[in-house]
Amino acid sequence: MSKQKSTILMFGVPGAGKGLFSKKISELLNRDHVITSTLLKQIASDPTHPHSEYVRKTMAEGGLVKEEISIEATMGHLLSSKKNSVLDGYPRSIGRWNALVKDVRIDLVFHLTIPTEEMIRRQQSRWVCKICREQYDDRTPEGKAIIKTKKCPKVLKDQNEKPMVCDGELYQRDDATTEAILHRKEVFETETLPLLELVREMERKENRKILYEVDNNKPIIVVLKKILEILIEAGLS
């Protein structure tokens, strides 16, 4: 059976630039920019959804939503959307990967890399929205102005596709210590990096290039140029 939907994946340590570049690619290719935490937030805000209560409680406590619910939310969205997608920071486990490749074609996988010191610097200047997880950087003037208000200005869509301002509280993670950041890097390396081996396996099986490592310790425009070349080479332009 041929798969109806296809996706581009974005991997990288926290702070590697996944959010920025998956947004850019989805705009350029007219794709859906899919962030699982945003989908979960929609579930939490929809009282008619069977998992609404559980998801709201888990997210409010800062916990991780069960894998099966995260898969259901993401796959449900990918398969019902009219567009192909760019997945931002998903999948993070082999279970999620298996569920994804069963029904969706993987066009490309980007692995964004940055040196550890830059990863630490970026995370320590970053403020996050408690609700939609959007990030703001206090090293930029726009970021600084938004952070001052402590409110997230991002426009999200509710279940009926109506725009709504997120308005979530912005906070600086109290675990932005160097030690905690290095721990999250370690978690990425032990839980997510092994998925790249599965991507390489897919490359061999399907006899096509899928995985691209992109150095993001460069000006945005240089990184974007590199990404555009890859998209063109893959015939996705």
Q: Which residues are near Zn ion by CB under 5 A?
A: 129, 131-132, 134, 152, 154, 166, 168
Query: Least distance (Å) from Zn ion to the CB of residue 187?
Result: 23
Helix count and strand count (H, E) for the chain:
10, 10
Nearest to 8 by CA among 24, 20, 26: 26
Closer Cβ to Zn ion, 131 or 195, answer by number: 131
Query: Least distance (Å) from Zn ion to the CB of residue 13?
Result: 22
Query: Least distance (Å) from Zn ion to the CB of residue 132?
Result: 3
210 with 106: CB under 8 angstroms?
yes
Percent helix, strand and coil across the chain, each to the nearest 5: 50, 20, 30
Query: Least distance (Å) from Zn ion to the CB of residue 84?
Result: 25
Burial of 186 (0-12, 13-18, 19+ CB in 10 A): exposed
Closer Cβ to Zn ion, 2 or 149, answer by number: 149
Q: How many CB atoms lie within 10 A of CB 10?
A: 26
Closer Cβ to Zn ion, 17 or 168, answer by number: 168
71 with 96: CB under 8 angstroms?
yes
Query: Least distance (Å) from Zn ion to the CB of residue 134?
Result: 5
Closer Cβ to Zn ion, 22 or 84, answer by number: 22
Q: How many CB atoms lie within 10 A of CB 32?
A: 16
Query: Least distance (Å) from Zn ion to the CB of residue 32?
Result: 18
Closer Cβ to Zn ion, 164 or 232, answer by number: 164
Distance CA 204, CA 191 (A): 22
Closer Cβ to Zn ion, 96 or 154, answer by number: 154
Q: What is each CA distance from 183 to 31, 91, 92, 158, 177, in whole angstroms?
A: 33, 19, 16, 34, 10
Peptide bond into 163 cis (omega under 30): no
Closer Cβ to Zn ion, 45 or 113, answer by number: 45
Query: Least distance (Å) from Zn ion to the CB of residue 217?
Result: 27
CA atoms within 13 A on the CB side of 3: 14
